[in-house]
A and B are shown apart, each in its own frame.
Chain A
Amino acid sequence: MPAEQPQEAAAPVEVQAEGEGEGKPKPKAKKEEDAPPRKNGLIETEYAKRGAHLDVQINPDQVVSAAEFLDGEGMTLEMVTGVDWIKENQFEVIYDYSYTGGQLLRVVVRARVDRNKPDIATVCHIFGGANWHERETWELLGINFVGHPQLEHFLLPEDADFFPLRKDFKP
């Protein structure tokens, strides 16, 4: 549904403008997955292929301002996903935003944190629904959401001292 380009294009450019200084918008690279370190910035993805209209990579300290901006635009946080990129020694946190008020728009916001010190700010004071998603991500991957009100065990037993979704997890 890439019909509403003007409306959606307006949103993320601003994210970038307010979010960061150095990363320039580069919609040029659509198939650059082989080039490993993706630069921060915005990619307009093909919806039919990826399932998202916009793909934004930002610094971990910008997730809150991104969430605030998208909240102002009336978007919903659908889920929070953590990915363990063990080769690059990084965790990736993916925020899926979608717009439920009308014409569909899906925005993916991703941030990478260091695997040895996986701290990222919480957005659950902006989106209450992030609470459970972040808690789950912390529990399964060990990504520490700074400022989260209740990082306690949730799905796993209370005494679990492992992070099962980490790639170096041995059962």
Chain B
Amino acid sequence: MSGGGQAHRWIAPAQLSHGAISAAIADPIQKRGPGKLWFYALLATLPFVLVTLGAIGAVLTVGIGLSGVNTTVVWGFSIANYVWWIGIGNAGTLISSMLLLTRQRWRASINRFAEAMTLFAAGIAGIFPIIHLGRPLYAYWLAPYPNTMDLWPQWRSALVWDFWAILSYILFSALFWFTGLLPDLATMRDRATTRRGQLIYGALALGWRNSARHWQVYETYHKTMAALAVPLVCSVHSIVGLDFAASLMPGWQESIFPPYFVVGAMYSGFAMVVVIAIFVRWGLRLQSVITPAHFDVMGKVMLFASVVMTLSYATEWFMAWYGGEHPDRDVVRYFFEGDYRWFYYALIACNCVVPQALWFPFARRNLWVLAGISVVINIGMWLERILIVWNTLSHGHAMSLWRTYHTSLYDLAILFGPLGLFVLGFLVLVRIFPIVSMHEVRQISHDEGAAA
């Protein structure tokens, strides 16, 4: 599916000139003030940010006992949140790289904030494994740093693989996002009217002069990075999947986990991109560059992911029965009949049933409906992650220690608080950097033959 053949599909015809595109994206930052709404939004995120910081401070001083984890269910919200946020973080790079490589031109308008979303989400995700530790101050022991006792991490542990996966993913995402921003930073520098703006954007643009040679190097570099990103996107969530799969617990020890986690990540990531796109489009008045066609395509991707997820769940149930092992069968029975069954039914409704509405073009094009479905998918995917943790640990091999999780106030704080942190990141970002890639949209408008 390429936008080339169909004129003006990915960009509204009214604002097709390069100048108009740049103005539409850069002016809200450089010419217009932040506006009341922005301040209100910023104010609204503050309680969440404070709750997050307070919760982190509390868990560092009082101990991980604040969480609802117990002797049997030793993992809880921190792990589920981690997997959820890293899943959200997956979509940005996926959109940037995989769609770039497959020449999905429509990605141009959304890849920038999708990448930013990746960066924030992966950053937030990175907090959770640390605050989930009993002794967070020693988190660095997972790194192979030189020490007098010649101690190394234990390479067979999936957690060490995970440490590298998320570290390289965050570094890569930051690099990819920043270098992708260079031409736009140069544009910002050139459009800046204040000395300070010229200096800051100028420094960040790293001397981009828009020369043909720059563009040639940039294109090569960007494609290479994109090619590198694809395996990385897959690896990061595969390895998160291995955190569970490389165990011997029923419900975790499944070879389907890595691909299933990658698709799940894409699923929730796209859902989050849709939500953010709707907000960005409305808040920054970018209706001209983020068009209904974008939402239509993303809706189809979510539909596809939904079908794959449903198949994955079905495979899990089938394999538990077909494998015939008592613990595996029993844990699946526990999904449906156990202590968390209502959550499980909710998860199936959210991830498998509701998104089937996306078969209908109306649902994909009506932003209210699409936003609703996306939120539902994100709730469903969080439920999936917490249930992976809860179901297996609550109902393991040792029947005498079967028990449930005891959700605490701290758990709720670290569940909802970081959402504010995430929004805060975006609010700051939209005031500093172009939230849509100007040079890539210009490229599209050029390709679509609209640019003067």
Our verdict on whether A and B bind, yes or no, reads no
A interface residues with partner B (beta carbon < 8 Å): none
B positions within 8 Å CB-CB of A: none
